Amino acid sequence: MTIDYSRSKKLRAEYLAKHLEKLFPKMPIPLDHTDPYTLLIAVLLSAQCTDERVNQVTPQLFTKAITPQQMVKLSVEQIQQIIRPCGLSLQKAKAIHQLSKILIEKHNSQVPANLEQLESLPGVGHKTASVVMAQAFGEPSFPVDTHIHRLAQAWGLSSGKNVTQTEKDLKKLFARNLWNKLHLQIIFYGRQYCTARQCDGQSCQVCQLFFPNRKKPKQIKRA
């Protein structure tokens, strides 16, 4: 009996959870880090930058400063010079310096394991905070970037006009204990099998399985 996945969002979600677990049973964290602080800095640097580039830059930065106390001893200009390959270097350097100072003054030099407190730090938006909560503290989170937003629409899991709505939709569909690993699995699937250039909602295995009768490219609502 052939299953018609196009008719059921629930069936599509159930298939994805099992299929992605088979493809990516072990999910390494893409950004190199040693503790919550270095993860926070790495995630901040990854905005509009590839994980690969961040991992090339952070060793030099962390050789000079691997704690908030060490980081504030560097000038914004020194930080900027090191992280320049990551793009938006001045903006990111200021945020790194300022948030390090705040961690010292308000959080005993520790990264808070609290979403709202993380989001209050300079340069730390909801997605960055969610990644830190998930990967540093193991708290169930479903960080949604532009790639997950695109795939969620291609797979008919969300019609949200922004990442905020997409995150809400995905959290309703998938069990809470799957969130942390699943968001990485979706990202890796998108990078390997369903890139924006290679698949327009009709080409990859999952898109074909879910919507075999789709005649036109899937129009994605940009985040």
Query: Which structural domain range is residue 156 located in?
Result: 5-27+142-210
Is 11 within 8 Å of 3 (Cβ atoms)? yes
Distance CA 214, CA 192 (A): 22
Cα angle 154, 155, 159 (rounded to 5 degrees) comes to 70
**Does this model's pTM top 0.85?**
yes
Each as own residue / partner, the long-range contacts of residues 205-214 (CB below 8 Å, 24 or more positions apart, any chain) are: 206/16, 206/19, 206/155, 207/154, 207/155, 209/5, 209/15, 210/5, 210/6, 210/12, 210/155, 210/156, 211/5, 211/6, 211/156, 212/6, 213/6
With 80 as the cut, is the pLDDT of residue 159 above it? yes
Set 9, 94, 127, 181: catalytic member: 127
Among the listed residues 12, 3, 4, the one whose alpha carbon sits nearest the alpha carbon of residue 156: 12
Task: Say if residue 123 is in the same domain as residue 41.
Answer: yes
* Residue-wise pLDDT tens digits, 59-85: 999 999 999 999 999 999 999 999 999
Tell me the backbone φ, ψ of residue 216, rounded to 5 degrees. -125, 155
Set 145, 161, 171, 181: catalytic member: 145
With 70 as the cut, is the pLDDT of residue 1 above it? no
Q: Looking at residue 110, what is its pLDDT? A: 98
- Mean pLDDT, rounded, for 115-140: 96
Residue 10: active-site member: no
Residue 215: active-site member: no
* Residue-wise pLDDT tens digits, 13-25: 999 999 999 999 9
With 90 as the cut, is the pLDDT of residue 104 above it? yes
Domain-located, residue 217: no
Domain-located, residue 162: yes
- Mean pLDDT, rounded, for 36-50: 96
Distance CA 49, CA 107 (A): 28
Is 85 within 8 Å of 57 (Cβ atoms)? yes
Q: Six-digit token pair at 54? A: 């961040």
Task: Say if residue 169 is in the same domain as residue 132.
Answer: no
Task: Say if residue 66 is in the same domain as residue 131.
Answer: yes
Task: Say if residue 16 is in the same domain as residue 86.
Answer: no
Confidence tier at 2 by pLDDT (50, 70, 90): confident
Average pLDDT, the chain: 94
Task: Say if residue 86 is in the same domain as residue 152.
Answer: no
User: How many distinct structural domains can be found in the chain?
Assistant: 2
